[in-house]
Amino acid sequence: MTTDSESLRERAAAALLAARDRTRLLTTCVEDPELVAQHSPLMSPLVWDLAHIGNQEEQWLLRTVGGRDALRPDIDSVYDAFEHPRAERPTLPLLGPAEAHGYVAEVRGRVLDILERTPLHGGPLLDSGFAFGMIAQHEQQHDETMLITHQLRQGPAVLTAPEPPAAPGISLPSEVLIPGGPFTMGTSTEPWALDNERPAHRREVAAFLLDTAPVGNGAYQRFIEDGGYEDPRWWAPEGWAQVREHRLRAPLFWRREGNQWLRRRFGVTEPVPPDEPVLHVSWYEADAYARWAGRRLPTEAEWEKAARHDPATGRAMRYPWGDEDPTPVHANLGQRHLRPAPVGSYPEGQSPLGVHQLIGDVWEWTASDFLPYPGFAAFPYREYSEVFFGSAYKVLRGGSFAVDPVACRGTFRNWDLPIRRQIFAGFRTARDAGPDAPSTL
Ligand code: AVJ
Ligand code: FE
């Protein structure tokens, strides 16, 4: 990556523009009443996300980086995610759709002017245009959140996208051996990496076997058909309690009709495709499936070693395929498609050891709690990551079809509560390799 300041500026401007194009799509494809409505108590009204995107941009880029006077300090509190849980956001004095669109456009106009005039060095917020990259990632993360809201929304389809590529008809081995030995986890050099991805540090990982691809719907159906949701042996106690309380028997959005499973996907009901990674399962469902299969979820360190460690050089790469930014041949990212791609669809995205689809398609639940790396320092604000550290949240890795490349890399960490099912999450499983397995180094 070049660090020439004009190209950094172009990169920042392009990232902001791409995020805004997507935000506009997600907030103009429905009528105004649908923007203001709350489609699920788990989500904000779309119009809250829209103005929250602008408010974060105002706070960080206009006020902090640009040193300009505040534009709408009166609305900071309404769009503070910590002051107001999602369920209560519809009752707040929100900007209406037209006002919210006008507000984000006004902020953006000033921010592009600031980007032109600001040196992209001289401190951690400015270096390599970090603050601009952080805000582009923030907007893209809310775009994914808004896409989840669209998936929860009732009514006919409003979003369309081309189908993902068909998988080449080659059969893959079911699992891949990842040799034991140390690797470098996290990063101290990726310019737009967020605080929780830092710093780079060595980790010892024992040899293990990892599924070549995420668990597919067909395999998950065998768990269901084998009585997986009726047998407490497979479930963590809290997971079993959730199964009982909500009478769970399949992933969210699935419905049984006769002897077929159907699912609703962005307003369309269709048969569940067996070769596609399973989606909309909680951490508890992933954990139960793995136990039923005689396996376990990979730890976060195992996942990252599989995704980044190059056994030929001993070096940690940015992505499974190398250091090159993702392109459409590498991974299903960026909402180009409105679904995960069949297993085996991205041979060019595989890791040196032959693990497929680590990046894109579905977020992958890991066994790990969301914890800071040794040497972690909150930056630029504690509420991005630090306040979430602890045992309440589980880490997800790899990004989904709904994640933009700007917010996806081998080091990127996402987290959520283990009960959550509306997010675009699936999983893959692992097992220990045992004492005779090979080791690097
Ligand atoms: C990293 C996806 C868990 O959406 O809650 C958005 C990202 N942080 N605004 C979230 C985020 C502040 C965050 N996740
Ligand atoms: Fe936010």
Asked if 236 contacts 288 with a C-beta cutoff of 8 angstroms, the reply is: yes
Residue 281 identity (one-letter amino acid) = V
Q: Mean pLDDT score of the chain, rounded to an integer? A: 97
* Residue 181: alpha-carbon gap to chain centroid: 28
pLDDT value for 268: 97
Check whether the bond before 232 is cis (ω within 30° of 0): no
- Spell out the residues 6+ positions from residue 172 whose beta carbon is closer than 8 angstroms to its own: 212, 213, 343, 344, 354, 356
In this predicted structure, what is the pLDDT of residue 88? 93
H runs (alpha helix) in 153-231: 217-225
Query: Which atom of ligand 1 sits closest to the CA of residue 414?
Result: 1
Same domain, 184 and 120: no
Over residues 274-322, the pLDDT tens digits come to 999 999 999 999 999 999 999 999 999 999 999 999 999 999 999 999 9
pLDDT value at residue 311: 96
Do 80 and 222 fall within a single domain? no
Percent of the chain at pLDDT > 70 equals 99
Look at residues 152, 170, 186 and tell me which one is the last residue of a structural domain.
152
Residues 336 and 222 in one domain: yes
Cα separation of 423 and 252, whole Å?
A: 10
- 340 neighbors 167 (Cβ within 8 angstroms): no
CA–centroid distance, 141 to ligand 1, in Å, is: 6
pLDDT, average across residues 333-339: 98
Q: Are residues 283 and 140 in the same domain?
A: no
CA 110 to chain centre: 29
> Which helix (H) or strand (E) element contains residue 397?
strand 390-397
Mean pLDDT of 220-246: 98
pLDDT digits (tens, 9 = 90+) for 66-119: 999 999 999 999 999 999 999 999 999 999 999 999 999 999 999 999 999 999
Q: From the CA of 142, how far away is ligand 2's center (Å)? A: 6
**Could you identify the residue written with the tokens 């509560």?**
417
pLDDT tens digits, residue range 163-215? 998 888 889 999 999 999 999 999 999 999 999 999 999 999 999 999 999 99
CATH at residue 112: 1.20.120
102-106 own/partner pairs: CB under 8 Å, 24+ apart: 103/51, 103/54, 103/71, 103/72, 104/20, 104/23, 104/50, 104/51, 104/53, 104/54, 104/57, 106/71
DSSP-derived pairing of the beta strands 309-310 and 315-316: antiparallel
Among residues 411, 401, 313, 405, which one has the least CA distance to residue 362? Answer: 401
87 is in an annotated binding site: yes
Residues 6+ away with beta carbon under 8 Å from 93: 78
- pLDDT, mean of residues 262-274: 98
The finding on whether 56 has its CB within 6 A of some atom of ligand 1 is no
Query: What is the model's pLDDT at position 217?
Result: 98
> Average pLDDT of 50-62?
98
Give the residue, by CA position, lying nearest to ligand 1 atom 12: 384
- Mark whether 381 and 241 lie in a shared domain: yes
Which 3-state string (H, E, C) describes 286-308? HHHHHHHCCCECCCHHHHHHHHH
* Residue at a domain's end among 152, 184, 217: 152
232 & 380 share domain: yes
Q: How confident is the model at residue 437 (pLDDT cuts 50, 70, 90)?
A: confident
Q: Please indicate if the annotation marks 416 as binding a ligand.
A: yes
Q: Which ligand is nearest to the CA of 146?
A: 1
pLDDT, tens digit, 9 for 90 and up, residues 146-165: 999 999 999 999 999 999 98
C-alpha–C-alpha distance, residues 268 and 157, integer Å: 6
Assign 441 a pLDDT band (cuts: 50, 70, 90): low
414 CB less than 6 Å from ligand 1? yes
Are 123 and 270 members of one domain? no
Q: How many domains does the chain have?
A: 2
User: What pLDDT sits at residue 3?
Assistant: 59
Q: Are residues 12 and 37 in the same domain?
A: yes
DSSP state of 206: -
Q: Which of 417, 418, 412, 376 is nearest to 141 (CA)?
A: 412
Q: Indicate if the pLDDT at residue 440 is higher than 80.
A: no
Examine the pLDDT at 2 and tell me if it is beyond 50. Answer: no
Q: What percent of the chain has pLDDT over 90?
A: 95
Q: Which of the listed residues 152, 181, 201 is the one where a domain comes to its end?
A: 152
Residues 377 and 349 in one domain: yes
CATH number at residue 176: 3.90.1580.10
Ligand closest to CA 137: 1
Go through 199-225 and write b for each residue having 16 or more CB atoms within 10 A of its CB, e for each that does not: bbeebebebbbbbbbbbbbebbbebbe
Are 137 and 278 in the same domain? no
**Mean pLDDT across the stretch 337-350?**
97
In sequence order, what are the beta bridge partners of 387? none
The answer on whether 348 is annotated among ligand-binding residues is no
- Domain co-membership, 148 together with 167: no
pLDDT of 408 reads 98
62: domain range? 4-152
138 CA to centre of ligand 2 in angstroms: 6
Q: Which residue from 306, 327, 314, 312 is spatially nearest to 397, judged by alpha carbons? A: 306
For range 383-400, the mean pLDDT: 98
125 and 174 in one domain? no
Tell how far CA 19 is from the center of its chain.
15
User: Alpha helices, DSSP H only, in 211-250?
Assistant: 217-225, 237-246
Q: What is the pLDDT of residue 4?
A: 82
Sheet containing 260-265: which strands, arranged edge to edge?
Answer: 254-257, 260-265, 268-271
